[in-house]
Amino acid sequence: MMGFRHVPAAELHLHIEGTLEPELIMELAARNGLTLPFPTLAQLRAQYEFTDLQSFLNLYYANMAVLRTEADFADMTRAYLARASAGGVRHAEIMFDPQAHVVRGVPLAAVVNGIASALAASEQEFGMTTGLIAAFLRDETEEDALEILEQLLAMDAPIIGIGLDSAEVGNPPTKFVRLYDRARAAGLHLIAHAGEEGPPSYVTDALDLLGVERIDHGIRSMEDPALVRRLAAEQVPLTVCPLSNVRLRAVDTLAEHPLPQMLAAGLNVCLNSDDPAYFGGHVDVNFAALETEFGFDADTVATLAGNSIRSSFADGDRKAALLTELQEWRTQQG
């Protein structure tokens, strides 16, 4: 069966630095007068075979070297908005990694203002509403994260929440309790990566110790039946990224991805691209791959898209408008 075209959905798990396509890396390197370790497009492209999360993170952080100016961050963000909106994304909550840029000497204001300027024009340019989320690197210290969070608050950065990403195993949620307490006190939404490579206990701890409202990934929750029952009962949103999980070898093949079991268990799962420039595609490509692999019908596609809209931090009016659009899409599928 051919895939359903462009279901209207929200993207809730997206690292803006992971949207940096090889072509744009080349363009920004030239613009900023930088010499890359992999100077041709073909040489760069040859690096995109990953064995685990860390092997991806090494390239992901290295490629960020081309992001130097406010315009670089704005161009990268605009390219994502154009591509995502063409694939049906109507609302996106976008993570960025402030520490990964500040450590390279890029002013925090250039990062925030560049991304925010593109997001500010998004509704008019692309019909997409957005939210910006500062993600903190869990393989760095909590003190470093707290310092950057204070800077973001002091500059009144237009962030709606915080997240936790980078190398998971060995960097549990317990390390970041004070960071999440501070963000909660500042009125921010709270999310965290958990159960991507890390054990189910990290999911439990992210919920109970950090107080997160959503879990990014969460696929390893399936190893703990009691946790699965809890996630189903509480309808905790899990932002699942199937193509990412395949490319980072969290699962061997798409056929072995636990998404069908997660749906069958009544979990609140939605589909996301994570780092689309690295993992083979945006949200629409993730939908198409699952439709092909598992033969999902229009009701299942609509369930996944509805979960994404309801689990977003968009306001009530926006959610209602998007759910109406989704209902119209479902009717058109027959």
For Zn ion, the nearest residue by Cβ is 274
CA dihedral 5, 6, 8, 13 (to 10 degrees): 140
CB of 329 to ligand ADE, least distance (A): 28
The nearest distance, CB 248 to ligand ADE, in angstroms, is 7
Q: Which does 166 bind (CB under 5 to 8 A by kind): Zn ion, ligand ADE, none?
A: ligand ADE
Q: Cβ of residue 97: shortest distance to Zn ion, in angstroms? A: 10
Task: Give which of ligand ADE, Zn ion, none residue 175 binds (C-beta under 5 to 8 Å, depending on kind).
Answer: none
Q: How far is the CB of 118 from ligand ADE (least distance, A)?
A: 19
Compute the distance between CA of residue 14 and CA of residue 283 in angstroms, rounded to an integer: 10
Inter-residue contact 257 to 251 (CB < 8 Å): yes
Looking at the Cβ atoms of 60 and 73, the one nearer to Zn ion is 60
Q: Which is nearer to ligand ADE, 119 or 192 (CB)?
A: 192
The 3-state DSSP class for residue 37 equals coil
* Closest residue to ligand ADE in the complex (CB): 165
Q: Of 155, 84, 88, whose CA–CA distance to 118 is shortest? A: 84
CA distance to 19, 80, 156, per residue, from 87 (Å): 14, 11, 32
Nearer to Zn ion by C-beta: 197 or 274? 274
Distance CA 274, CA 325 (A): 24
- Judged by the rule CB under 6 A, the positions of this chain that interact with ligand ADE are 15, 18, 53, 60, 165-166, 193, 196, 244, 274-275
Which residues of this chain interact with Zn ion, rule CB under 5 A? 274
Q: For 251, which DSSP code?
A: S
Query: Could you tell me the smallest distance in angstroms from the CB atom of residue 172 to Zn ion?
Result: 17
Pick from Zn ion, ligand ADE, none: which does 173 bind, CB < 5 to 8 A by kind?
Answer: none
Task: Please identify every residue annotated as catalytic.
Answer: 196
Binds 70, which of ligand ADE, Zn ion, none (CB < 5 to 8 A, cut-off by type)? none
Cβ-based nearer residue to ligand ADE, 270 or 326: 270
Q: How far is CA 66 from CA 63, 101, 115, 207, 238, in A?
A: 6, 10, 15, 36, 32
The torsion of the CA quartet 166, 169, 175, 177, rounded to 10 degrees, works out to 70
Q: How many residues does the chain have?
A: 334
**Partner that binds at residue 18, options ligand ADE, Zn ion, none, CB closer than 5 to 8 Å by kind:** ligand ADE
